Amino acid sequence: MTTKSPGTSPQRCLATNNAKRVPLTQKKATVPSSPVPSRVPTKRLTSLLPRSTRHAASARPAGCTQNHIEQLPPEILMKILWNLDASSLYCIGYVNKLLYKLAKNNAMWRKIYSAKYGESKKLKAKHMDEVVEKLSVMKVQERPGGYWRRLYFRTVAGYNHTKWLKELRTINPFTGLPSHTEKVLREQHVAWEITVCDRSVCEGTFEQSHTYYSDSSVTLCWTNGSWPAFHQLSTIQLHGVKRVPLKCPSAIKPGWKSLMAQLDIDTISKSSQVIGGDRLVKLVLLSPGIVIGIWRGQSSIAFVMATFHYHRLLERSLLGSSVCPYTIPETRPLFDDVDPNYGLHGYTLHITLHNTVTEIMSGHFPQLFCRKASYCGEIPQAFKQKNCCMMSLTLLDESQIPFWCVSTPVSMVLANEEPFSYDYQGQHFLIKYKDAEGKVQMDVVLLEEQRQFFLINLVVYISTVKVNQHFGRAY
């Protein structure tokens, strides 16, 4: 709501310029010595007011205006609110507590929801049955306060999910992932927020300040804001946010939040490990894939960085709730009782090392087997890297369905054991990653003359439990 500054309106200025000018000698200005009395005495006006109003007017200090809206009966306020649209009804809830409570009325938001979606011809028959069920009178009465308000915003935020699901059907043959993930993320205006809470229950929410898209993952960075000390962190939450296109100020614009990661105080204290840094900051890795930069010699936070894999990223960012993440449905391949080694061969691996600026190394390895010396592909690759980067790994099964997807920061450390290969002279380094589903180990050697790292060995380990669950086997 904007307020115009007091002054002469354009129409009034135009009338003044067109008026007939009268010389000052023809007409003398008279200034009254005393104010002109009113036709109705002030005492009589005061006596006409109700007794409660007269008492409030006499007790009110000078210059204080009366809030006439709060003095209206709730029935009259509800009549006014019933005539507002969704944007106005949402914004008026920020005026005071009374209007916030009244503006969450289920009946009003049910009417707005049914007007927009209940009679839409674009809805299919199966969606119409669901809408009719939700619009029944008993359902409205049984729902808690604010249910239809939340349902309206969630439906508006993800109403075109069938459209962007169709756009994600095109698969990139090189990565095995949807080709238009970045395009859909930008078109849907998906953002990500991080909410941190310290041990004194002080909470702060920050929007990402930098976003980097690679071929199989997105890296987010939060640098702005007043962060609490690292040792004071109690909870960290990452949400995908879709803003609702309503005509209201951006500061209070509604949106739908989908929980993507949540860390409590125990996870922060147990899983934190230093993976790198420089002269200014040190990098602390938190599971899953969250990096916190801490100023050296201090405990204050410089930035927070997270990386998410493209696999089901749209669904995880939009279709979850603020307290519950999106559940990825299980897609088990058909059972094969002819091949005794079904589930042990035909894998395809796509792995990428990158930072927040550019891609460092990318490799594609088809026809991998779960037996020694059975994988194919030229392993040796040269690349330049510092001691820490992002690794995005996509492992596809023999049906080219994503089997194991990981996007996480990794660090490179000097190998203490004997060199893996004697064909390359130089220092040997290791890049390792491990979780409950699998493990990755990369052996690299530093070539001093070329000033490059050379990848000479890459091994991917898969948990037997994961293989049995995915293929329905008992290996």
Q: Say how far apart CA 473 and CA 467 lie, in whole Å.
A: 7
Mean pLDDT, residues 391-408:
93
Q: Which tens digits make up the pLDDT trace of 214-264?
A: 999 999 999 988 888 998 899 999 999 887 777 777 667 777 789 999 999
pLDDT category at 1 given cuts 50, 70, 90 is very low
> 453 near 446, Cβ under 8 Å?
yes
Q: Which tens digits make up the pLDDT trace of 98-119?
A: 888 888 888 898 888 888 877 5
pLDDT at 56 over 50: no
pLDDT category at 268 given cuts 50, 70, 90 is confident
pLDDT at 419 over 80: no
pLDDT at 49 over 90: no
pLDDT at 391 over 60: yes
Of the candidates 274, 406, 422, the one whose C-alpha atom is nearest the C-alpha of residue 349 is 406
The sign of the CA dihedral 1, 104, 203, 221 is: negative
Phi then psi for residue 176, to 5 deg, are: 75, 15
Per-residue model confidence (pLDDT) at position 57: 44
For the ranges 25-39, 220-234, 307-321, 402-416, the lowest mean pLDDT is seen at 25-39
pLDDT category at 386 given cuts 50, 70, 90 is low
* 377, HSE (Cβ side, Cα atoms, 13 Å): 22
